[in-house]
């Protein structure tokens, strides 16, 4: 079996080393085709009749792409249409070496059984291995290896099968040589264009270097980028500075480069003008050169948007704009200014946005406007402009040549019509970097096989708690139930309370693809009417979900408590439970309130409720904050999935009952894992906000003659409780909303790398997340730690490595933040949908903030926040006086204070389809020239006035 043939490879690492490696060549590597009878492959990957209709190759064929095709045209290869492709080991290795993301994508394609991608290990095959010839470059050798493998295939596949292999390459020389060798070879573009019935694939082709040469627009707009070697020496000598480029959201001609300094010494360098920006795109790692001090400028406060439609002729206009900016420079406002000399690393991702269709009807070149305003517009080529107009599409950037005003890109896929619910949801998921693709085959392969049942093995480290009267209480319609509770009387007069959490870590084993996917997703994202799961549905809604009347694995935290809710004894154990009921909050509340019911579940619930009240009182005594944020829930039409009504979330006693025990479990677990693993426990902290954060709260309450103490959480909680104004019941809620805005973000961290563990909001010295492992990855890690602590599971190296933990925490914090943003964006979008069907409404609201030129208003009925601007582009702005101390704003004699009651009209401004907005306009108090009249039944006339 072993055809041993040793050979010598030379590599350099540091100095010159001669590395000798063995290289075994084998003759048991199969071709992977169903038609081949010589090969003893058990499960051939390539189909017997690969049908893909092409006008160039009318016969059935397999494809062999070369490295560059895989690297650059991965979008095309990923298309479900392209199947039966042979990926050579040479190609795979080169891709791995050159681009991590492309490698991951091609691997995913290979793992996808539908795609019939076969990896041929040609480098170890006796007949396809070739040695590098003297004078031959590594690239040439690889190209030759690809050709040899293709030749081998065309000889190997029996003639009777009438299947040919088609090689795809964009390299002219390679193509010529392959043709000489008698191979069927096409350029990738040629081949894709020849595909019958699938013309839309053409748009996915990335623009290649060849195409760029054809471009005749000779005018060079941008200075050349320096080569990487020169940049590196420049950075070393201090001539250039390395930093992350951040484009300005409001002004496309301006950006900053964020330079990571040591400690707190991070600085920003200002860049102004297209030339200085020199093709940097948001988030790129760039090298900048500082300009001499005389050329420094101040950041402009002008809002400049790169308005579409003008094409490439608008350069003169830009020059004007630039002059306009430079005029108003103040000496003291000047900032270090620089220019981009080179790009160290591009950080491009696919961008969502919309197509600006070119005015010329037959044109295939169009501009694409990304949804993110920090990204420049991208020029793409497409033949489907007519269909794509009005759709949300995804575009990838291929490059930005120096003679092009805009980067060049290619169309990747269409997400659907703009304004559609599915499309917009997709867009907001993509823009918030929420991984939401279906789980890959590889991930799914780690799921337990169905039908699943609890086995002897499962019982080894578990306690049987099936006899207990456990029940779960959740919001209506919840399918991922991760917690259940029980409470019973003990013989000694004490109470036993148990919190049972789904044992997700039993199904997700460390290090496998499923675990990695969950770790990268970090959290389940709940949008209006949609849920993006962190773990596949089989786990989230079935095997892990603690549904009623089925046996489920759980991780239990069991306390013995006396009737004053003092913990006498805490026990953690893996268990098996059988929930007796899945209740909603309302159902649970009804059971508790209904004096006629006396079954086990109700008894248990009453006991829990009683204890929860004591626990809550204790917690508040310690200084836990009750904050408020206006949360709304949509009544969604079951047929059309359109929001039909809004409702602010209502809190029942049972909500707080469940919450109390979850908090208790989290705190108990946090203490336990910290005691056991002081260096690598994953905890959650909520830092104390700096005193300056409360300024706005102090100012606001002063006007109402109230004082809020903010020295400690306890004092804040107390003074918030006392702050009431007669006849203004909503005031307290407003105040709590305001207080919430003063808070810091709670974050995960690794106990070994931090010393401050306090959770400010909950007023507990230590806290973690344990109770929702189905929807949070942090909880899975905490489960693993706890399992090791009680000896129920084994540990693994990454769990005990505090630096790896810290890196994981960073990702989790990022994902949580993005999930929150996505959630908010989803609510905002549904609010828009809601108002779209309503026309113009008029509602009562309260002033939440006062700004220099606007007031921010909260509408309690919808939990909606909006801004009323007093400045207008078309009209002369009214007389305004802003008082910093109040803060108050006086407009034409009327003074706006915080918490003032106002009436506003609400309508949807759909003038910019990419960026629809809720508009608010003032109704009452009436200020001439500023407020609008009461909306009449006829909406047409109003729209004009409502514009800004």
Partner 1 sequence: MAGIELLSDQGYRLDGRKATELRKVQAQMGVFGQADGSAYLEQGNTKVLAVVYGPHEVRGARSKIQHDRAVINCQYSMATFSTAERKRRPHGDRKSSEMSLHLKQTFEAAVLTQLYPRSQIDIYVKILQSDGGNYSACVNAATLAVIDAGIPMRDYVCACTAGFVDDTPLADLCHAEESGGGTSLAVALLPRGGQIALLQMDARLHQDHLDTLMEAAMTACKGVSKVLDEVVRQHLQETSVLTGE
The site for partner 1 (CB under 8 A) is made up of 1-2, 4, 6, 15, 17-26, 89, 96-98, 100, 107, 110, 119, 121, 123-124, 511, 794-797
Q: How far apart are CA 827 and CA 815, in angstroms?
A: 18
* Torsion angle of C-alpha atoms 705, 706, 710, 713, degrees rounded to 10: -170
Q: How far apart are CA 889 and CA 449, in angstroms?
A: 65
The string over 927-944, giving b where at least 16 C-beta atoms fall within 10 Å of a residue's C-beta and e elsewhere, is eeebbbeebeeeeeebee
Q: How far apart are CA 572 and CA 557, in angstroms?
A: 5
Sign of CA dihedral 606, 612, 618, 621: negative
CA-based angle 824:664:482, to the nearest 5? 55
* Of residues 2 and 301, the one with the C-beta less far from partner 1: 2
Q: How far apart are CA 28 and CA 40, in angstroms?
A: 8
CB 23 to partner 1: min, Å = 6
| Interhelix angle 513-521/777-789, nearest 10 degrees | 120
Q: Which helix (H) or strand (E) holds 299?
A: none
* Of residues 13 and 638, the one with the C-beta less far from partner 1: 13
Q: From residue 355, how far is each of 199, 247, 368, 393 by CA, in Å?
A: 19, 21, 4, 7
> Are 173 and 136 a contacting pair, CB within 8 Å?
no
DSSP 629-686: ---EEEEE-TTT--EEEEEE----HHHHHHHHHHHHHHHHHHHHHHHH-TTT-EEEEB
CB 458 to partner 1: min, Å = 16
CB 580 to partner 1: min, Å = 36
CB 787 to partner 1: min, Å = 14
Grouping H, G, I as helix, E, B as strand and the rest as coil, residue 515 is helix
* Of residues 1 and 944, the one with the C-beta less far from partner 1: 1
* Torsion angle of C-alpha atoms 513, 534, 105, 108, degrees rounded to 10: 50
* Of residues 102 and 183, the one with the C-beta less far from partner 1: 102
* Of residues 216 and 455, the one with the C-beta less far from partner 1: 455
* Of residues 101 and 238, the one with the C-beta less far from partner 1: 101
Burial (CB count within 10 angstroms: exposed 0-12, middle 13-18, buried 19+), residue 105 = middle
CB 93 to partner 1: min, Å = 8
* Of residues 796 and 814, the one with the C-beta less far from partner 1: 796
Nearest to 95 by CA among 113, 75, 70: 70
CB 36 to partner 1: min, Å = 17
CB 522 to partner 1: min, Å = 22
Beta bridge partners of 474: 584
CB 24 to partner 1: min, Å = 4
Read off the tokens for 147. 């050709």
Q: How far apart are CA 111 and CA 11, in angstroms?
A: 32
The string over 447-476, giving b where at least 16 C-beta atoms fall within 10 Å of a residue's C-beta and e elsewhere, is beeeeeeeeeeeeeebeebeebbbbbbbee
> Are 403 and 215 a contacting pair, CB within 8 Å?
yes
CA-based angle 182:188:194, to the nearest 5? 90
* Of residues 20 and 651, the one with the C-beta less far from partner 1: 20
CB 104 to partner 1: min, Å = 11
Residues near 166 by beta carbon (within 8 Å), at least 6 away in sequence: 57, 61, 62, 63, 64, 184, 185, 186, 191
* Of residues 19 and 490, the one with the C-beta less far from partner 1: 19
CB 103 to partner 1: min, Å = 8
* Of residues 463 and 513, the one with the C-beta less far from partner 1: 513
CB 442 to partner 1: min, Å = 10
* Of residues 123 and 533, the one with the C-beta less far from partner 1: 123
* Of residues 89 and 832, the one with the C-beta less far from partner 1: 89
DSSP 879: P
CB 88 to partner 1: min, Å = 12
CB 15 to partner 1: min, Å = 8
Q: How far apart are CA 597 and CA 697, in angstroms?
A: 47
* Of residues 418 and 788, the one with the C-beta less far from partner 1: 788
CB 511 to partner 1: min, Å = 8
* Of residues 32 and 407, the one with the C-beta less far from partner 1: 32
* Of residues 78 and 123, the one with the C-beta less far from partner 1: 123
Q: From residue 239, how far is each of 145, 227, 230, 289, 334 by CA, in Å?
A: 44, 15, 11, 7, 21
CB 124 to partner 1: min, Å = 4
Q: How far apart are CA 591 and CA 599, in angstroms?
A: 9
């Amino acid at each position: 079996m072993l055809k041993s043939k040793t050979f010598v490879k030379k590599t350099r690492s540091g100095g010159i080393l001669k590395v000798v490696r063995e290289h075994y060549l084998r003759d048991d590597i199969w071709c992977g085709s169903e038609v081949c009878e010589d090969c003893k492959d058990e499960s051939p990957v390539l189909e017997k009749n690969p049908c893909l209709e092409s006008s160039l190759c009318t016969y059935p064929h397999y494809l062999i792409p070369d490295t560059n095709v895989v690297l650059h045209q991965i979008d095309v290869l990923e298309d479900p249409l392209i199947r039966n492709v042979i990926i050579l080991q040479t190609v795979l290795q080169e891709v791995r070496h050159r681009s991590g993301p492309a490698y991951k994508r091609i691997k995913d394609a290979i793992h996808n059984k539908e795609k019939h991608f076969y990896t041929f290990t040609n480098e170890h095959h006796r007949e396809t291995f070739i040695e590098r010839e003297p004078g031959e470059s590594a690239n040439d050798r690889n190209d030759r290896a690809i050709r040899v493998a293709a030749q081998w295939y065309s000889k190997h596949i029996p003639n009777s099968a009438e299947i040919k292999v088609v090689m795809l390459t964009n390299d002219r020389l390679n193509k010529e040589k392959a043709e000489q060798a008698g191979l069927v070879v096409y350029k990738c573009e040629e081949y894709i264009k020849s595909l019958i019935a699938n013309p839309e694939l053409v748009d996915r082709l990335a623009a290649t270097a060849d195409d760029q040469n054809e471009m005749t627009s000779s005018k060079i707009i941008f200075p050349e980028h320096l080569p990487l070697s020169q940049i590196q020496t420049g950075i070393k000598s201090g001539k250039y500075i390395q930093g992350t480029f951040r484009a300005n959201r409001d002004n496309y001609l301006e950006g900053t480069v964020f330079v990571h300094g040591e400690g707190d010494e991070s600085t920003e360098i200002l860049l102004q003008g297209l030339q200085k920006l020199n093709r940097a795109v948001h988030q790129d790692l760039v090298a900048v050169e500082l300009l001499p001090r005389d050329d420094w400028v101040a950041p402009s406060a002008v809002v400049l948007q790169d308005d579409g439609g003008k094409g490439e002729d608008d350069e003169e206009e830009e020059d004007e704009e630039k002059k306009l900016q430079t005029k108003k420079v103040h000496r003291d406002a000047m900032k270090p200014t620089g220019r981009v000399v080179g790009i160290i690393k591009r950080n491009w991702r696919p961008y969502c946005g919309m197509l600006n269709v070119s005015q010329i009807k037959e044109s295939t070149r169009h501009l694409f406007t990304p949804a993110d305003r920090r990204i420049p517009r991208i020029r793409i080529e497409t033949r489907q402009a007519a269909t794509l107009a009005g759709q949300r599409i995804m575009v990838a950037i291929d490059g930005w040549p120096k003679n092009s005003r805009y980067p060049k890109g290619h169309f990747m896929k269409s997400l659907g019509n703009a304004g559609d619910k599915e499309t917009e949801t997709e867009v907001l998921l993509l823009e918030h970097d929420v991984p939401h693709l279906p789980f890959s085959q590889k991930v799914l392969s780690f799921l337990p096989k169905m039908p699943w049942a609890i086995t002897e093995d499962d019982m080894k480290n578990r306690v049987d708690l099936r006899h207990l009267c456990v029940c779960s209480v959740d919001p209506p319609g919840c399918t991922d139930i991760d917690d259940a509770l029980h409470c019973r009387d003990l013989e000694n007069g004490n109470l036993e309370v148990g919190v049972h959490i789904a044992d997700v870590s039993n199904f997700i084993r460390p290090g496998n693809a499923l675990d990695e996917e969950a770790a990268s997703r970090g959290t389940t994202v709940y949008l209006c009417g949609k849920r993006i799961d962190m773990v596949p549905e089989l786990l989230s809604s079935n095997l892990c979900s603690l549904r009623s009347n089925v046996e489920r694995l759980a991780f239990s935290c069991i306390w013995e408590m006396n009737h004053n809710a003092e913990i006498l004894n805490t026990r953690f154990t893996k268990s098996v439970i059988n929930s007796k009921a899945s209740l909603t909050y309302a159902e649970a509340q009804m059971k508790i309130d209904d004096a006629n019911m006396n079954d086990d579940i109700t008894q248990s619930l009453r006991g829990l409720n009683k204890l929860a009240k004591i626990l809550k009182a204790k917690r508040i005594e310690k200084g836990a904050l009750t904050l408020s944020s206006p949360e709304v829930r949509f009544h969604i039409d079951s047929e059309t999935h359109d929001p039909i009504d809004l409702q602010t979330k209502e809190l029942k006693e049972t909500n707080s009952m469940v919450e109390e025990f979850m908090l208790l479990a989290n705190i108990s677990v946090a203490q336990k894992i910290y005691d056991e693993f002081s260096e690598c426990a994953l905890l959650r902290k909520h830092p104390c906000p700096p005193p300056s954060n409360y300024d706005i709260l102090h100012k606001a309450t002063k006007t109402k003659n109230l004082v809020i103490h903010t020295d400690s959480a306890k004092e804040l909680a107390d003074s918030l409780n006392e702050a009431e104004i007669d006849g203004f019941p909503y005031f307290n809620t407003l105040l709590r909303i305001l207080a919430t805005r003063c808070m810091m973000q709670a974050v995960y961290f690794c106990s070994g790398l931090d010393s401050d563990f306090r959770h400010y909001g909950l007023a507990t010295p230590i806290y973690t997340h344990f109770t929702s492992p189905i929807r949070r990855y942090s909880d899975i890690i905490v489960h693993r730690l706890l399992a090791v602590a009680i000896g129920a599971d084994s540990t693994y190296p990454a769990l005990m490595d505090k630096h790896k933990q810290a890196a994981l925490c960073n990702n989790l914090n990022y994902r949580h933040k993005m999930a929150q943003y996505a959630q908010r964006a989803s609510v905002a979008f549904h609010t828009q949908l809601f108002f779209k069907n309503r026309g113009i409404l008029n509602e009562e609201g309260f002033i939440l903030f006062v700004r220099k030129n606007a007031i921010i208003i909260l509408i309690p009925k919808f939990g909606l926040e909006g801004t009323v601007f007093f400045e207008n582009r078309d009209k002369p702005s009214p007389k305004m006086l802003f008082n910093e101390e109040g803060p108050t704003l006086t407009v034409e004699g009327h003074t706006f204070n915080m918490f003032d009651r106002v009436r506003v009209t609400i309508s949807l401004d759909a003038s910019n389809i990419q960026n629809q907005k809720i508009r608010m306009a003032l109704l009452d108090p009436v200020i001439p020239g500023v407020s609008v009249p009461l909306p009449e039944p006829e909406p047409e006339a109003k729209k004009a006035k409502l514009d800004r």
